[in-house]
Amino acid sequence: MQNNRIEKRRTFFPSLRPKDCQNQAFLDRIKNTVLILAGSVVYGIGTQCFISYAQIAPGGASGIALMVNFVTGIPIGILTFLINIPLLVLAWFYLSKSFTIKTALACAVSSGIMDFVIAPLFPIYQGDRLLSSLFGGVLVGIGMALIFLAGCTTGGSDIIGYLLQKKKPHLSIGHALLIIDGFLLAASIFVFRNIESGLFGLISLFVQTQVIDRIIYGADVGNMVTIITSSPEEISRQIITTLERSATVLPGYGAYSKCSTDVLLCAVRKNQFSTLKQIIHRVDPAAFVLVTETSEVYGEGFKTIS
């Protein structure tokens, strides 16, 4: 019955035909590749041209790389990738392999662009450290947001967050990452031998997170998405296989059409929302979608109710 309904909709909506779906998937891959490359360039400019000169370490793997670079002189991109390698190994065994592959690709691209494109070609801003921390935070936030929109992450804190969530579901991931970044900011004071390094790093980290939240829809833990569709099984299947999330299908009744329909409920993280929109558009362009910002999400894959 469901297959018949899908075939009928493919006949009515030409964009759902197999050939067009393949073309759309190809266009999505190109779009995601462009987002990763553009995000890596902007991320590299913010880190290499602004934050590195300001001698601040605004958390994450790049923060550790900046401190090691200050001591050893090893390129920041190479250090960032090397720091992410053990985290990627843990993600391979304890998280999903597809997540690890995409994250490793994004890390390799961003690290390579930072060392071999940004460092030799772009000038370094050597002015006020406050401006460096502000503009560096803005650019790094934009770069990370673009990479998130491609369905990838830059590794570092994101991998740690997923691992902590896997092992201790009751732990507040936001608080845990705040403690880690706070420790790195404190360590930067001793590495750079300057109290202002920690203060400017805090400013840069705050600006960075605010920019990410503004660019990506869903300012906090995640989004609750309500999808009214005639193809709930196909959308649910792709949510499970692509996003590694689940969904709930509820029976519904259209007040205007007087026809039965299906309502799909799904909770996703902010870096997965763009991929979910692509799934809905491919399967059912006529779907009616409601998106609700959520400050907290409890349940499997998120936090355990305590």
Structure tokens given for 267: 């909770």
Asked whether 264 and 229 are in contact (CB, 8 A), the reply is: yes
> Around Cβ 278, how many Cβ atoms within 10 Å?
19
Q: What's the pTM?
A: 0.64
Do residues 68 and 79 make contact, with C-beta atoms less than 8 angstroms apart?
Answer: yes
Task: Give me the phi and psi of 253, to 5 degrees please.
Answer: -145, 125
- β partners of residue 222: 269, 294
Tens-digit pLDDT profile for the chain (306 aa)? 444 444 444 444 444 456 666 777 778 788 888 888 888 889 889 988 998 888 888 878 888 998 998 889 899 989 999 999 998 898 888 877 877 888 888 888 888 888 898 888 888 888 888 999 999 999 988 988 888 888 777 777 777 777 776 776 666 555 666 677 788 888 888 988 888 888 898 898 888 888 887 776 444 457 788 888 888 888 988 888 888 888 888 888 888 878 888 888 888 877 788 888 888 888 888 888 888 877 667 666 666 665
Task: Kindly list the structural domains of the chain, giving each domain's residue range(s) and its CATH number in brackets, ordered by start.
Answer: 30-215 (no CATH), 218-306 (3.30.70.120)
Q: What is the pLDDT of residue 139?
A: 92
CA distance 276 to 267: 10
The per-residue pLDDT for range 24-51, each reduced to its tens digit, is 777 878 888 888 888 888 988 998 899 8
Number of residues assigned to the chain: 306
